[in-house]
Structure 1
């Protein structure tokens, strides 16, 4: 909380730490969520320090008007922050103000008057089955050490073969290997789920561990970087970016797209939606239902490409266009 202590009164720093402790203990928030919320709160308090010409205290928070909060949202928009990030920051602020209210420190209804920015509903972008498999197979063509190639193949295999989030895969420990038929994964909200592990994926992980030059402790991360430390997510993102031009993949090809591909291809193969929800670790079925829209779009494309009536609905590039209909009251010329 040192960042907050620099830009706000000590009483706010103590309240912020109390809120984060409550989130961790009562709501079982993950370390990544706690870090994001703490950062969001620090950004807001830094804005208030500039906006009011000095560090904010509890009295300043109680005196905030809706116009002050809207000024913060407008400033974030000018800085190029996306609607999704702004919505998360607003959620963090609401949670912090609720905590202050429960503790009898600050009561300010202005925060509740703000509307969350409307976010466009975007569908997850999945790769085709061929592209997803090519990504796994081609991880070894990147010019790097053989053990790193094996590492990337194993990691991509867990994303596409087990539907793990990147953070979940990077959170695995050496003690989790060798992988069994199922693997217990602790995901968002510290909720644990069991995911099946394909034999091919278990083999990829075993090959990586056999080639890895480091001998880490059982509690060390399973996936290691070039110097033996934890593998940085940015390195994984960069590896996918390097594969895009080599394989002709779209810009939407990311590590997370492999997880989306896992769900989309399961659904296309007839898997039950509720089962996919459990495999992905989604708290709400509505989140998983987005994949039905993807599958419906795929079926629609297949219908338009293959069904005789759909093919006849519009002339193709080599089909002659039908003759124009004569205007009302006029006869078509004889041919």
Structure 2
């Protein structure tokens, strides 16, 4: 079977990606293959070296693609090569050492929605730690709270009837943050089953929501470690920081039409200017809204 078709089958069957997500991966990989064919020929993906990659990146720069578009292509190709190495179809990843050029104003790293789905798939298990990790991901991505706020979250800060959590933020500023059905379900499952099992290993009682494998309150560093372990179960490349889930929350909220001030309130930003950095990653959505508005009023 063709290597690309084999990878597409893997995304659909094993990763259970949507047809739309699979199409995006296929377009990115095919674009790379066609570039190689047009510039000296193409034998197979295992024969690609770093010079080929650098030449391809140069062509992307000449096409004046947005930084996010280049990052998406690299993410697709890294995932593809990680898969090829896993199944023995390639020996090395020629994209491993590639770093994208950073703009003058650094934009926060975030996950695409398909990558978020892959993270959740990696923690979909029955064990107490699986339940904790699923609830942890749901809270960090579904509410956008800071890792320190998550580590310090206590049981009495959760209101399941109103689906709100009281968050103690920076500068002793409290805010209420809503959480949705997926987050509620994951939290209740963990609090009813996983957490009591983990807490049974400890000879004392505490009210922190998230605990370590030994039942002790988890730390911010502990959350980072947990997420690192989760990523290693996926085809995603590179490191992960809990703030990437916060950035993903803000980006996806704006992508789906949320008001900038609403996102500011949810994130607990003191200044709107801090939140505005996420608009750089949602330009296409904002432009579409602008054109729709002025088309309707002219």
TM-score (norm 1): 0.49
Question: Number of paired residues?
Answer: 178
Confirm or deny: 8 A CA contact 1:125 1:252 kept in the other structure. Answer: no
Q: Map 1:1-335; keep pairs closer than 5 Å.
A: 121-140=105-124, 146-177=127-158, 179-180=160-161, 181-211=163-193, 212=195, 213=197, 214=199, 220-251=207-238, 253-296=240-283
Q: Which runs of 5+ in 1 are unaligned?
A: 1-119, 301-335
Residues 272 and 177 (structure 1), Cα distance of their counterparts in 2 relative to 1, 3 Å cut: closer
- C-alpha deviation, 1:162, in angstroms: 0.8
Structure scoring higher RCO (CA < 8 A, sep ≥ 6) equals 2
Instruction: Give the secondary-structure state (helix, strand or coil) at the position aligned to 1:246.
Output: coil
Confirm or deny: 8 A CA contact 1:186 1:192 kept in the other structure. Answer: yes
- C-alpha deviation, 1:234, in angstroms: 2.3
Partners of 1:184 and 1:239 lie apart in 2 by 24
- C-alpha deviation, 1:132, in angstroms: 1.3
Residues 280 and 262 (structure 1), Cα distance of their counterparts in 2 relative to 1, 3 Å cut: same
Confirm or deny: 8 A CA contact 1:178 1:206 kept in the other structure. Answer: no
- C-alpha deviation, 1:232, in angstroms: 2.5
CA RMSD of aligned residues (A): 2.5
- C-alpha deviation, 1:297, in angstroms: 7.2
Confirm or deny: 8 A CA contact 1:137 1:153 kept in the other structure. Answer: no
Instruction: Give the secondary-structure state (helix, strand or coil) at the position aligned to 1:247.
Output: coil
After superposing on structure 2, the runs of 4+ consecutive aligned residues of structure 1 that deviate more than 4 Å are 215-219, 297-300
Confirm or deny: 8 A CA contact 1:151 1:208 kept in the other structure. Answer: yes
- C-alpha deviation, 1:177, in angstroms: 4.3
Partners of 2:153 and 2:219 lie apart in 1 by 13
TM-score (norm 2): 0.54
Q: Which runs of 5+ in 2 are unaligned?
A: 1-103, 288-298
Instruction: Give the secondary-structure state (helix, strand or coil) at the position aligned to 1:161.
Output: helix
Partners of 1:285 and 1:296 lie apart in 2 by 17
In our comparison, the structure showing a higher alpha carbon Rg is: 1
